[in-house]
Amino acid sequence: MAYEGILNISSLNLERATELRKMPMIYLTKDGKPRFVSEVPAISGLMLKHWHFRNLINLSREAGDKICFFCNRLEAIRLPPEQVQRYYEELYKVKYGDKEIELIENCVGEDVHGFLAVVKGKSLRREGNVKFSWAIALGGRENEEYQEEAYRRIVIVQHSRHVREIPPEEEVKRQLEALKSGRNEGSGKNEKKDEFNDLMKQLKQLQMPYPKPYTSEVFGFTTIADLSAIGVSLTDNGKTIDPEVRKIRQRNTILAYAKMLFGEIGANLSRSLPIAGKFRLLIAASKKGHIPPPVHPVYPNYLVESVKLIKDAAELFQDPAIIRIYAYDMNRETKNALESEDSDLVDVKVVETPFTEGFGKVLEFLGL
């Protein structure tokens, strides 16, 4: 899948303290010339993967799939130390397991997103079956003045809390002492002073401004999922879990991507749901899995280039594929260029709706 749309940087980008993450970038301009920009806002693939994981767990819970203790709490601790596993197993009657096949049978999170377990010098590792690129701000793709523009968009907003009245210090001191003498408490002078200071501090905090950075930006990222590896344990000679459960997990892995497009990614959604914007999406799948990741949206012509690349691989491996493209502002020329790649082996269509005609058709093609 290749995605291009508005994301909330301040919520997705704060992996390190309060500083926005930036990286150097070389953009290719439309005429093919490289252009260097020293600092570009970026969101790590780890952050995107985390939001896919959360959507997957929520969908899996609805489907009645097995989920371990931490995954159920949407915390990506895959796996906790052995003693912690045994503790929660006893307490909540959940099951982890020792071998890879048991661990993936007992939790969709460990199965789809992988894990690393180190127990008494013995280590067991499962690679995640869902992989994400970094999300890169796309402003620099066509805009020569991008660097300055990008910084202007990051704004700090002062929020404030208000209660009707904070009592004066003298009043608080007097009432605190009256309460103490009523209870006949003979505490020391310092203890009294600490209690008063703490209380005053907390009262004052009921009325205060607090700053919060906000910004939205058009970002692009790509992601791939190896559905064939879901429910298969490589360290148990390719043993698989129940085929029906595998199918549910493969379907939910795709639906979790669709949920990411709702804007259900990033923290602080209760006060900064991204201003819903239009997006562009390319979603592709192949029967045997010999499919390259799409070209990243940092490249200006990524939709046409991705279709050509996927078709080229499909022909080499004789692997039937489906590609659906949704873009709100596509011109006739691009639409014709994309649809002219449609063939017996690769079904290419530009669609009007991203969900039913996009994700829905891909699920149908895969028999999910």
Where do contacts with Zn ion occur on this chain (CB under 5 A)? 68, 71, 107, 109-110
Strand partners, 8: 216
- Radius of gyration from C-alpha coordinates of the chain: 26
DSSP string, 97-125: -SSHHHHHHH-HHHHHH-EEEEETTEEEE
Q: How far is CA 172 from the centre of its chain?
A: 47
Q: Residue 269 CB, nearest distance to Zn ion (Å)?
A: 23
Q: Residue 359 CB, nearest distance to Zn ion (Å)?
A: 25
Measured from each CB, the residue nearest to Zn ion is 71
CB 351 within 8 A of CB 283: no
What one-letter code names the amino acid at 308?
Answer: K
Please identify, using beta-carbon distances, which residue of 4 and 110 lies nearer to Zn ion.
110
Please identify, using beta-carbon distances, which residue of 68 and 254 lies nearer to Zn ion.
68
Please identify, using beta-carbon distances, which residue of 45 and 114 lies nearer to Zn ion.
114
Q: Whose structure tokens read 């990222």?
A: 221
Task: State the pairing for strand pair 346-350/321-327.
Answer: parallel
Please identify, using beta-carbon distances, which residue of 40 and 79 lies nearer to Zn ion.
79
Q: Residue 50 CB, nearest distance to Zn ion (Å)?
A: 13
Please identify, using beta-carbon distances, which residue of 61 and 287 lies nearer to Zn ion.
61
Termini Cα distance of the chain: 17
Please identify, using beta-carbon distances, which residue of 13 and 85 lies nearer to Zn ion.
85
Backbone angles phi, psi at 220, to 5 degrees: -135, 140
Q: Residue 71 CB, nearest distance to Zn ion (Å)?
A: 3
Q: Residue 210 CB, nearest distance to Zn ion (Å)?
A: 35
Q: Residue 43 CB, nearest distance to Zn ion (Å)?
A: 24
How many Cβ atoms sit within 10 Å of the Cβ of residue 282?
A: 25
Please identify, using beta-carbon distances, which residue of 117 and 323 lies nearer to Zn ion.
117
List of E strands, the chain? 2-8, 22-28, 34-43, 115-119, 122-126, 130-132, 135-137, 155-160, 209-214, 216-225, 232-233, 239-240, 280-286, 321-327, 346-350
Burial class (CB in 10 A: 0-12, 13-18, 19+), 319: middle
Q: Residue 106 CB, nearest distance to Zn ion (Å)?
A: 8
